Structure 1
Amino acid sequence: METDTTDLIAQARAGDHNAFRDLVQGHSHELQVHCYRILGSLQDAEDALQETLVSAWRNLGEFGQRSSLRTWLYQIATNRCLSMLRADSRRPRTAPPPPEATLPEPTGAGDAPPWLEPYPDVLLDHLVDQRPGPEARYETSEAISLAFITALQLLPPRQRAVLVLRDVLDYRAAEVARMLDTTQEAVSSALKRARATVDNHLAGSGSPDGAGSSGSGTGSRRPAPQPDSAAEHRLVARFTDALERADLDAMIELLVTDVRLSMPPAMLEYRGIESAQHVLAAAAFRPGRSYRVVPTRANGQPAFGLYLADPHADVHRAYCFLVITTTGDRIAAITSFSTDVMTRFGLPRTLPESD
């Protein structure tokens, strides 16, 4: 295998685009997820990945094989993401209020940044066989959850990169220092501050994972049902049924007492059963509304395309995209995204009237 890689590197250096494609294609999916963790946006992650591959192609002659090809690619991708964060040109600085409904006063400003986007589980299929190293603090599934991605966005860029490289990918401090062109002391200091911020956020975010599955803290939530388990199917069915029957009481029964509702890009948060009841009554469960729901998955969590009946045509039109955070047989958080993200999940803009 090493001989094959060496041959491909030599061919790619000689200008063979096919050899370069074969060389990097096994790393592309994990690099995109890496960029998504740091940037919080699938669109930005795709851009960062393409720029990473272009840079790797142009600079392959400088790859001296002092590290593995994978590590070299991660170094390029990480620094590309940091450059994008410094430029900060893609990110909206203000967010418009949610359309249509007049919502009650939020309980606070939400942590979810305006640029946050969900990540389709279908793109995570290639990561299933990956195992974190012995010192990684976060399992692969936890390190892609919306709560974790949101927590990362609270960190300064360098801290964000250090935490992902150390606690998710399990690179050693000396390796991270070389990748970021800094000292081990600076890496250790950044990691300590980053861990404190992320642990505090996860402990209060509604995430059942608390402060990291492999590190300190266990969290007070019951574990989420296993993906595709009977327990998760029951919860998804009850959530879908409550929406399609416009049954607000049934929906409220599914929520934990300190449930969180957020709706990027609006920097608003509603926390607690009473607040959730008011906002759901003002928005999704207004009289005369009829929905259809299409279940899917995002960030390792149940997700749903929500479609609103058009009173003037025999169709349901895309209304929003929901991702739920589960704990036991209840819902700890609901994050609502605009319809702009739905095409990423293969969801149509309209559904025909059901029979």
Structure 2
Amino acid sequence: MSAVDDVLVAAARAGDESAFAELVEHHRAELRVHCYRMLGSFDESEDLVQETFLRAWKNIAGFEGRSTLRAWLYRIATNACLDALDGRAHRVLPHSVAPPADSTTARPPRGDVAWLQPFPDRLWEPAESAEAEPDAVVVARETIELAFLAAIQHLPPRQRAVLILRDVLGWPAKQTAELLEGSVASVNSASQRARATLREHLPERRMEWAPAEEPTEQERAVLRRYMAAVERADLTAVAGLLAEEVRSMMPPFPVWFQGRDAVVAALAESWNPRSPDYVGEFRMVETGANRQPSVATYVRRPGESAYRAFAISVMRIEGEHIVDATAFHEPELFPAFDLPLTLPSAHR
């Protein structure tokens, strides 16, 4: 730690809450991402960071500097997440709950399922390396893309912690074992089992995940053409932007669609003003979620004047086509993306 941190630690150990807050606030963003990976929930990641800081404050007198403050906070955050995960079901996306449907299938939203949530890019901060110095390089395989998040939720909590610490954050086996109060052998064994399970749940060709990067200009161009087509309710244009085997989901609805024809058929019903399933007119605002091309959708229903928050959609785009689209129908998440809950009817 720096000399300034040493002074702050001493003050915090003496009971100075403001010194403690200054000391730990620097780590808030990366701990939030760590808790999000562990839990698959943006809402709960916020709560678990607060729980981490509460536990740290209660135990700051016992922090003697044998590890870095960052490692100590990661230990507390990981254990808080493991406590939160004890006995609960893992978070999922609709394709883990039901088989693909057709446009005639109707199922209500399910509140009894723990659904994966998106993470706002504006709050994302890459983790530093395990032996972080002020100029340390970012870990090579940092990621919060949805495919990876959905896959690691299938791991038992302790294996999930090992995989995140070892393979995502790049911590050595010895340091990971110390954090989890286990042996190096047990950590290595858990890591092997976690990687084997991950291979079963990651999409094809996604085992070697890449560093998190901004969407490319080509991806943004495809996204913007999609946004314009949706605002025009132009099914032909939308169909041209979808991959043949595109997958479309909208949690908390368990219904999901596989293939361009199925997706377009479902959209035709919800976009047809004469259909009982008509949703309304859409307006789209580009946003950022999970370091993937993303858009916020607003809908103006028949008889209403304003466009209301509807869903945050996270896309995977390959070449000129959308291959995966997950629309999280959680309007309450819009403020976390710094988005309003309504748009005026004149918005463009």
The TM tier, using the shorter chain, reads: 0.7 to 0.9
Shift of 1:49: 0.4
Shift of 1:48: 0.6
Partner in structure 1 of residue 338 of structure 2: 346
Q: Is the 8 A contact 1:137 1:213 kept in 2?
A: no
CA distance in 1, matches of 2:223, 2:82: 37
Runs of 4 or more above 6 Å deviation: 89-92, 131-134
CA distance in 1, matches of 2:322, 2:89: 35
* Deviation by residue 1:321-350 (Cα, 9 ceiling, x = unmatched): 211111222211100111232222122222
Q: Is the 8 A contact 1:138 1:213 kept in 2?
A: no
CA distance in 2, matches of 1:3, 1:167: 31
- Aligned residue runs from structure 1 range 12-31, under 5 A: 12-31=12-31
CA distance in 2, matches of 1:214, 1:228: 13
Shift of 1:247: 1.2
Partner in structure 1 of residue 295 of structure 2: 304
Look up the equivalent residue of 1:72 and give its one-letter code.
W
Say whether 1:286 aligns with 2:272.
yes
* Deviation by residue 1:220-244 (Cα, 9 ceiling, x = unmatched): xxxx9x6364313311211111100
Partner in structure 2 of residue 104 of structure 1: 104
Partner in structure 2 of residue 4 of structure 1: 4
Look up the equivalent residue of 1:351 and give its one-letter code.
L
CA distance in 2, matches of 1:214, 1:306: 28
CA distance in 2, matches of 1:210, 1:259: 16
Report the secondary structure of 1:295's partner residue.
strand
- Taking a change above 3 Å as real, the CA distance of residues 354 and 149 of structure 1, as seen in their structure-2 partners, is same
CA distance in 2, matches of 1:8, 1:158: 32
- Aligned residue runs from structure 1 range 1-355, under 5 A: 2-86=2-86, 88=88, 103-105=103-105, 114-124=114-124, 126-127=125-126, 130=128, 139-140=141-142, 143-204=143-204, 210-213=206-209, 227=214, 229-283=216-270, 285-287=271-273, 289-338=280-329, 339-354=331-346
Shift of 1:248: 1.5
Shift of 1:305: 1.7
Q: Is the 8 A contact 1:137 1:167 kept in 2?
A: no
Q: Is the 8 A contact 2:247 2:256 kept in 1?
A: yes
Shift of 1:272: 1.8
Look up the equivalent residue of 2:88 and give its one-letter code.
D
Report the secondary structure of 1:203's partner residue.
coil
Report the secondary structure of 1:58's partner residue.
helix
CA distance in 2, matches of 1:132, 1:330: 38
Look up the equivalent residue of 2:219 and give its one-letter code.
E
CA distance in 2, matches of 1:322, 1:159: 29
Look up the equivalent residue of 2:3 and give its one-letter code.
T
Report the secondary structure of 1:259's partner residue.
strand
Shift of 1:75: 0.6
- Taking a change above 3 Å as real, the CA distance of residues 137 and 212 of structure 1, as seen in their structure-2 partners, is farther
Report the secondary structure of 1:139's partner residue.
coil
Unpaired runs of 5+ residues, structure 1, are 107-112, 216-223
How many residue pairs are counted as aligned between the two chains?
323
Shift of 1:79: 0.6
Shift of 1:104: 3.5
Report the secondary structure of 1:348's partner residue.
coil
Give the TM-score taking structure 1 as reference length: 0.82
Q: Is the 8 A contact 2:128 2:139 kept in 1?
A: no
**Which shows bigger deviation, 345-354 or 262-271?**
262-271
Shift of 1:91: 7.7
Give the TM-score taking structure 2 as reference length: 0.84
Q: Is the 8 A contact 1:116 1:265 kept in 2?
A: no
Q: State the percentage of identical aligned residues.
A: 40
Report the secondary structure of 2:86's partner residue.
helix
Look up the equivalent residue of 1:104 and give its one-letter code.
T
- Taking a change above 3 Å as real, the CA distance of residues 303 and 194 of structure 1, as seen in their structure-2 partners, is same
Look up the equivalent residue of 2:294 and give its one-letter code.
A
CA distance in 1, matches of 2:320, 2:268: 23
Look up the equivalent residue of 2:304 and give its one-letter code.
A
Unpaired runs of 5+ residues, structure 2, are 107-112, 275-279
Report the secondary structure of 2:206's partner residue.
coil
Report the secondary structure of 1:30's partner residue.
helix
Report the secondary structure of 2:310's partner residue.
strand
CA distance in 1, matches of 2:186, 2:129: 27
Q: Is the 8 A contact 1:132 1:168 kept in 2?
A: no
* Deviation by residue 1:223-270 (Cα, 9 ceiling, x = unmatched): x9x636431331121111110011112112112222111222234432
Shift of 1:105: 4.2
Look up the equivalent residue of 1:238 and give its one-letter code.
R
Look up the equivalent residue of 1:165 and give its one-letter code.
L
